[in-house]
Amino acid sequence: MTTSAAPVKTRRTRKNHWIPVVAGFLRKDGRILIGQRPENNTLAGQWEFPGGKVELGESPEEALARELREELGIEATVGELKLACTHTYGDVGIMILFFEILFWKGEPKAKHHMMLEWIYPEELRDRQIPEANRKILDRIEKAIGVQWPKSSSSRKG
């Protein structure tokens, strides 16, 4: 009887762990909505676009509509996918899908965030934002329509 050699272990035993996240760009009068992440939470105090993790069985759009209902108390129509990015926190990866939100019912309220603010897109750069967003800030700015005056283009370094 022949015995085959034990398989060489080439695969990593620890699988990558990915978390899908959705976030929304809500606009009003030329401003965009950001929320300050709550205390006792990861990235506490940082300013983010409203949204959260996609749950099993949800489409990205359903997940974002649910998150906006839970976090802001609004009924939103999720629009176009504007941007996607990935980021790694330790051994966990997140993939964030950013959607345009053009229509909603109700007035956004801070049901989850410490505070909500409508800011001009140009102001985002000066806020404390998650590294996942900071590293693609140029792409976010393009997606939310930041228009830098020529004289201040040196800010963008």
Binding residues (CB under 6 A) for ligand DGT: these are 21, 23, 42-43, 48-49, 51-53, 94, 96, 130, 132-133
Q: How far is the CB of 136 from ligand DGT (least distance, A)?
A: 10
Q: How far is the CB of 1 from ligand DGT (least distance, A)?
A: 53
Q: How far is the CB of 43 from ligand DGT (least distance, A)?
A: 5
Rank residues 70 and 75 by Cβ distance to ligand DGT and give the closer one.
70
CA 87 distance to own-chain centroid? 11
Cβ(93)–Cβ(86) below 8 Å: yes
- Give, in degrees to the nearest 5, the angle at Cα 144 between 94 and 141: 75
Neighbours of 129 (CB within 10 A): 18
Which amino acid is residue 3, in one-letter code? T
The strand pair at 17-28 and 92-105 is best described as parallel
Rank residues 8 and 111 by Cβ distance to ligand DGT and give the closer one.
111
Rank residues 64 and 155 by Cβ distance to ligand DGT and give the closer one.
64
Q: How far is the CB of 27 from ligand DGT (least distance, A)?
A: 15
Rank residues 95 and 154 by Cβ distance to ligand DGT and give the closer one.
95
Give the CB-nearest residue to ligand DGT: 52
Rank residues 66 and 122 by Cβ distance to ligand DGT and give the closer one.
66
Helices (H), the chain: 60-72, 131-134, 137-144
Q: How far is the CB of 54 from ligand DGT (least distance, A)?
A: 8
Query: 148: exposed, middle or buried (C-beta count within 10 Å: 0-12, 13-18, 19+)?
Result: middle
